[in-house]
Structure 1
Amino acid sequence: MTHSDGAAQTRTISPSAEGRTISHWFDNKSFAGTSGNTAPVTNPATGAVTGQVALASVEDARAVIDAAAAAFPAWRDTSLAKRTQVIFNFRELLNARKGELAEIITAEHGKVVSDALGEVSRGQEVVEFACGIAHLLKGGMTENASTNIDVSSIRQPVGPVGIISPFNFPAMVPMWFFPIAIAAGNTVVLKPSEKDPTAAIWMAELWAEAGLPAGVFNVLQGDKTAVDELLTHPAIKAISFVGSTPIAQYVYATGTAHGKRVQALGGAKNHAIVLPDADLDLAADAMVNAGFGSAGERCMAISALVAVGDIADELVAKIKDRTDTLEIGDGTLDSDMGPLVTKVHRDKVASYIDAGEGAGATIVVDG
């Protein structure tokens, strides 16, 4: 990748380029950082290392956060009309190039390209919602709330905000948050998962091309060092997090202890109940789609299915029949389900099967 200090032109980032470094991003340009520490990024379908992601030091994190803090006063004072125009530009660019982003997601997460495109589309829904932010930022006025006392309210941006996002949706989850934050006049520091960090840089380049001023959208790569600096740095006024429940508890406790507004969304395990009068073919289809979509790495993956009455054996048989037809493989090929994101994650999932068998369950589908 090459960058200039001026308006960036979005380029397709090749996730297969060996030896590439996925850097931080601030002031609308790449920032290599000074720590010298990196972590490998792999293609889950092949196991090949496709790059090294920079792991921020405290000093690197502060440099990125300082850029967001420096950009905040001017962005806060930018008119709603100008802010909205940038959001519209981003929306149009994203819509035209979402295929590029989907391929990047597949190359680093493993989910099939159609799943990745669906993820981008879900994120784009929030971008489109943010295009109407002007109406949503209106305040209120109540005349004579008490005798000769009027009450008014206004909505103002809080300042630089942090986003700590998970590996399973490297585009959608950040897009839950940053379109609204930016449209409302805040500046953003996004800390993506180190497992699939390239999508964040691609979106940063797109923002630059859309005309977003330098320092408004920034990317901080890294691990716990980067997270802790976001949670404790006084310039960061709010945090949004999605991830496991233990880390959500840590993020909430640490962030609020340092005076920040914190939104910490922990792990979810969806359950399903199938009643005796259900359409079992439809139920089986729904269970397979829920269990294996996005490589099973999402909160909507059904973790427990309760069959009511005497339908369990028939339902299990229908689910087995459908599961046997699934093509598991490279997400860029004609596959129904891609590989799990890392070998460590694969081994963790396999351990659940062993635990179930150890508890007395019968393994119906294996391998």
Structure 2
Amino acid sequence: MTDTLTAVPTLPHWIGGAETPSSSDRTAPVYDPARGVVTKRVALASTQEVDAAVAAASAAFPGWRDTSIAKRQQVIFRFRELLNERKEELAAILTSEHGKVLSDALGEIARGLEIVELACGFPHLIKGEHSENVSTGVDVYSIKQPLGVVGIISPFNFPAMVPMWFFPIAIAAGNAVVLKPSEKDPSAANWMAALWAEAGLPAGVFNVVHGDKVAVDALLEHPDVRSISFVGSTPIAQYIYETAARTGKRVQALGGAKNHMLVLPDADLDLVADSAVNAGFGSAGERCMAVSVVVAVEPVADALIEKLTTRMATLRVGDGTRNPDMGPLVTGEHRDKVASYIDVAAADGASVVVDGRGVEVDGEADGFWLGPTLIDKVPTSSRVYQEEIFGPVLSIVRVASYEEGVALINSGRFGNGTAIFTNDGGAARRFQNEVEVGMIGINVPIPVPVGYFSFGGWKQSLFGANKAYGPAGFDFFTQEKAITSRWLDPSHGGINLGFPQNG
């Protein structure tokens, strides 16, 4: 790989409505994963630069909060139209920095657009309630108001979609945003900031600061930041939750996953094999909802493995701009970490059925390549089973019964997503009731809820009470006031020192 410090541009921050060159001399390389070369560098913010972004958001917040619902809605509609018109441009940015194939990048944008479209209908979702004459001449009603300045910290695997899980709702509700995207693929954030400006969003309502732990900690500890939204690994999610909560902030911190697919003997194995390949190797397995463990209720494992290997042999790995099935991993360091699990599996007694190392690719030799990998008979004591690998490694665990499979899933520390494949409606209904997981698919391998439901798991897959987007998102980005009102007329009863009673 090539890391040239000269002759590549440095991506600046976006503060107060414009690109803002960094005053810090710290930068990080941004790679094209299919070529293994540095295409730009990204500024790493100092604490002072985070302060400047929060100050810009704080200054913009009162005016945006007081902007009428109708005018806010017009800006969001315009952003939606611009995003839909230019999605191919954004997809190309995602592919160039993350490595996912163009079709997958367009799919990511489509799922982000769902939340933008949900936000277009926000007036209905931030309505209060009204009860008349709860006591004689007394009305009680509620209103929902924005929090203020909100922070968003997003991961590398979905540089467009995950920020769009949060900022359209936050902005619709009247908040001002400071986004800290992943430094591995940061350009999408600036592109979306410029789109917001073109849509008519006032300067300072949407800001982007790039950076590492310095920027993250500055957001977590800043007294003027009212909430933090985060998606990433469980250790970091827990750190963010504990740090931000300690400073009095609202937190929604979505952590890691180890998603299981339970396959019953009556399942359609062709559907299972297609689904497992799609869900295990799409986006090179760099999805928090990827299927990483197939739990096969015997006697289906051998037949399923045969179908899986047949399909895996047809997958084309290469540069995402050349229309392959799967692209590279995001960095060389991450590729090496994922590949190391294959050795761990072999040492732990598992059978490596398909080894993705050394895969033939349609791309440059220095790209961050690892082909689809299939490992059978993985011990549940192995790190390959216990840890979130976040790459194209699919494990097979064999069990003797439905009950053993559910017990295995429920014994894990994660509870993000799971799926069951069966033609037995009773088994599926029992599964959805008994499994201790937040998002469930029935013959659906990646059960990401549509925008008007909410996304989030159980256990160590979610820290904080609030899931992402949907009704939970609007609850998170607003705070409710309850008002008890009496308009007196000349016949009021005068002074009464008794305890107030309804009547």
Query: Which residue number in structure 2 is paired with residue 22 of structure 1?
Result: 11
Q: Tell whether 2:267 aligns with 1:285.
A: no
SS at 2:114's partner residue? helix
- The amino acid that maps onto 1:359 is D
Q: Tell whether 2:347 aligns with 1:358.
A: yes
Query: Which residue number in structure 2 is paired with residue 214 of structure 1?
Result: 203
Q: How does 1:55-70 map to 2 (within 5 A)?
A: 55-70=44-59
How far is the alpha carbon of 1:32 from its aligned partner?
Answer: 1.1
Instruction: Point out where structure 1 has 5 or more consecutive residues left out of the alignment.
Output: 1-16
Q: Distance in 2 between matches of 1:147 and 1:308?
A: 65
Instruction: Point out where structure 2 has 5 or more consecutive residues left out of the alignment.
Output: 1-5, 357-503
Q: Tell whether 2:156 aligns with 1:167.
A: yes
| Partner residue of 2:311 out of 309, 317, 322 | 322
Q: Percent identity?
A: 68
Q: Distance in 2 between matches of 1:315 and 1:246?
A: 34
Alpha-carbon contact 1:123-1:173 (below 8 Å) kept: yes
Which protein is richer in helix relative to its size?
1
Q: Tell whether 2:103 aligns with 1:96.
A: no
- The amino acid that maps onto 1:74 is G
Q: Tell whether 2:230 aligns with 1:246.
A: no
Deviates more, 1:352-361 or 1:253-262: 352-361
SS at 1:196's partner residue? coil
Query: Which residue number in structure 2 is paired with residue 181 of structure 1?
Result: 170
Query: Which residue number in structure 2 is paired with residue 9 of structure 1?
Result: none
Q: Distance in 2 between matches of 1:352 and 1:360?
A: 13
Query: Which residue number in structure 1 is paired with residue 74 of structure 2?
Result: 85
How far is the alpha carbon of 1:153 from its aligned partner?
Answer: 0.8
Q: Tell whether 2:139 aligns with 1:155.
A: no
- The amino acid that maps onto 2:297 is V
Query: Which residue number in structure 1 is paired with residue 120 of structure 2?
Result: 131
Query: Which residue number in structure 2 is paired with residue 4 of structure 1?
Result: none
| Partner residue of 1:52 out of 17, 41, 49 | 41
SS at 2:150's partner residue? strand
Deviation per residue, 1:295-326 (Å, 9 max, x gap): 11002211111111211001011101111111
How far is the alpha carbon of 1:148 from its aligned partner?
Answer: 5.5
Q: Distance in 2 between matches of 1:325 and 1:237?
A: 50
How far is the alpha carbon of 1:145 from its aligned partner?
Answer: 3.8
Aligned length: 351
TM-score, length-scaled by structure 2: 0.69
Deviation per residue, 1:73-132 (Å, 9 max, x gap): 100000001100000100000000000000000000011000000000000010011111
Q: Distance in 2 between matches of 1:148 and 1:360?
A: 76
TM-score, length-scaled by structure 1: 0.94
Q: Distance in 1 between matches of 2:308 and 2:134?
A: 61
Q: Distance in 1 between matches of 2:124 and 2:213?
A: 38
Query: Which residue number in structure 2 is paired with residue 120 of structure 1?
Result: 109
Deviation per residue, 1:258-314 (Å, 9 max, x gap): 111110000122110111011111100000000111111002211111111211001
Cα RMSD for the two superposed structures: 1.2
How far is the alpha carbon of 1:163 from its aligned partner?
Answer: 0.3
Which protein is richer in strand relative to its size?
2
- The amino acid that maps onto 1:19 is V
How far is the alpha carbon of 1:144 from its aligned partner?
Answer: 3.8
Q: Tell whether 2:276 aligns with 1:264.
A: no
**Rg larger in structure:** 2
Alpha-carbon contact 2:260-2:292 (below 8 Å) kept: yes
Q: Tell whether 2:328 aligns with 1:339.
A: yes
How far is the alpha carbon of 1:142 from its aligned partner?
Answer: 1.6
Alpha-carbon contact 2:102-2:323 (below 8 Å) kept: no
Deviates more, 1:135-144 or 1:321-330: 135-144
SS at 1:155's partner residue? strand
